[in-house]
Amino acid sequence: MIDSKTPLSQLHGGEVEWAVSQRFNIPIEKIISFASTVSPVVPESIRDSSLFFDRLHLYPPNDYSQLKQEIIKYQRVEHDVAVVVGCGSTELIHLFAQLMGRGEVIIPVPTYGEYEAAVNKIGGTPVFVKAQDDFALNSAAIKRSISKRTKAIMICNPNNPTGRLFDRSDIDELVELVDRTGLMLLVDEAYSCFASQNRRYSVGNLVRSHNLIVLNSISKLFGVPSLRLGWALASGETAKIIEKARIPWMVNNLAVWGGEKLLLDTNYQNEITSLIASQKKELVSALQEKSWLSVFPSETNFLLVKILEPDITATQLFQHLARKGIVIRDCTFMRGLGDHFFRITIRTQAQNRMLISELDKMKVPSSPSIITNC
């Protein structure tokens, strides 16, 4: 049960659907979630799970060797890149923070809140570096934030919740910086699969010879966060250290079975990425027609939107939609954003249109005194 006093706007994207279902008494199946950043269609290739049931009496293979081979192929990295699997990439974010210990970890914001939570949990100190106005990485400020206590830098590329893909040259610069200063860099690429073809890249191969680990997950692209499967790409040496800290069998047989099937399902991968690209185009143009909203460019499957009308907050919009079973991500409490930002995930055409039609019904003052600063 989610504490009934916690404001819904403070909940994680993955929790908020359950909370809306409870508070507004709407069955969970009826909730349309634009808050959780996952694909809207579950792949047919895992609908028949009867094969999985034959494995229920078994513990998972704790070296996960077959699954790791599929991950290597899916990631198109060299065979000497080591893989550590986790119960979602969330487990690996927490393991990384745990291994960094109680020093400082630099986190460019706005970004995914779990990095901060993981660092705080082990008694470390998150050091936040504000992005530039267009949400580009502020490399100079990151460099200036390094102190004697700094252990690591954690970034998300493309970034959640901004949708911004950092330039490859910025990432290379960070890799060079951590090598020179003896820090570790974590690059979370959970959304890289959604970047446009000409901008889609991974730094997975660099893990072999740099102080770098790269994270990815099946939750987003395949729309299956319930399975809980993520992984880290690392050098052999770093992987050994993470493996030692890992609790055995955290990745269960359903995740292994589903992961192996999904990573091979290239038809689904192609279909879903093109569906999302076309739906993103349609949704962006519909949102751009609303003078009270401003949409940020996105290389992911979600859009960050700013409400330009001072008298409408993201929380008000959230409440208005939640009563109808439509859930958006209110970004009021996201570090580096504020009460006029919300995030929506691209869903099917019918669902996106339903959202637009609800936005059309919002009572917006006829001549808004538009907010212009970020």
Ligand X SMILES: Cc1ncc(COP(=O)(O)O)c(C=O)c1O
Residue ranges in contact with ligand X by CB under 6 A: 13, 37, 88-90, 112, 156, 160, 188, 190, 217, 219, 225, 230
Shorter beta-carbon distance to ligand X: residue 90 or 332: 90
Q: What is the DSSP string of 139-178?
A: HHHHHHH--TTEEEEEEESSPTTT-PPPPHHHHHHHHHHH
Measured over the CA atoms of residue 322, residue 332, residue 284 and residue 287, the dihedral's sign is positive
Q: Which is nearer to ligand X, 219 or 269 (CB)?
A: 219
Residue with tokens 């269609």: 41
* CB 161 to ligand X: min, Å: 8
Q: Could you tell me the smallest distance in angstroms from the CB atom of residue 68 to ligand X?
A: 16
Q: Which is nearer to ligand X, 33 or 217 (CB)?
A: 217
Specify the pairing of strand 32-33 against strand 326-327: parallel
Kindly report the backbone phi and psi dihedral angles of residue 202, in degrees, each rounded to the nearest multiple of 5, phi listed first.
-125, 150
Q: Which is nearer to ligand X, 223 or 308 (CB)?
A: 223
Closest CB to ligand X: residue number: 88
Which residues have C-beta within 8 Å of that of residue 155, sequence separation ≥ 6? 107, 108, 111, 137, 166, 171, 174, 185, 186, 187, 188
Rounded least distance, CB 71 to ligand X, Å: 13
Residue number with CB closer to ligand X (253 or 313): 253
Helix (H) or strand (E) holding 231: strand 230-234
What distance in Å separates the CA atoms of residue 235 and residue 220, rounded to the nearest whole number?
25
Alpha helices in 220-289 (DSSP H): 236-245, 253-264, 266-288
Report the nearest approach of ligand X to the CB of residue 289 (Å): 28
Pick between residue 90 and residue 294 the one whose CB is nearest to ligand X.
90
CB of 292 to ligand X, least distance (A): 27
d(CA 216, CA 231) in angstroms, rounded, equals 6
Closest CA relative to residue 255, chosen from 276, 228, 224: 228
Residue 291 Cβ vs ligand X, minimum distance, rounded to whole Å: 30
CB of 11 vs ligand X, minimal distance in Å: 12
Q: How far is the CB of 13 from ligand X (least distance, A)?
A: 6
- Calpha distance 57→79 (Å, rounded): 32
Residue closer to ligand X, measured from CB, 21 or 33: 33
CB of 81 or CB of 107, closer to ligand X = 107
What's the closest the beta carbon of residue 14 comes to ligand X, in angstroms?
6
Q: For residue 5, give the amino acid letter.
A: K
d(CA 8, CA 324): 15
Which of 64, 66, 122 is closest to 93 using CA atoms? 122
As a whole number of angstroms, the distance between CA 260 and CA 257 comes to: 5
Query: Locate tokens 């399975």: which residue?
Result: 227
Q: Which of 100, 359 has the CB closer to ligand X?
A: 100
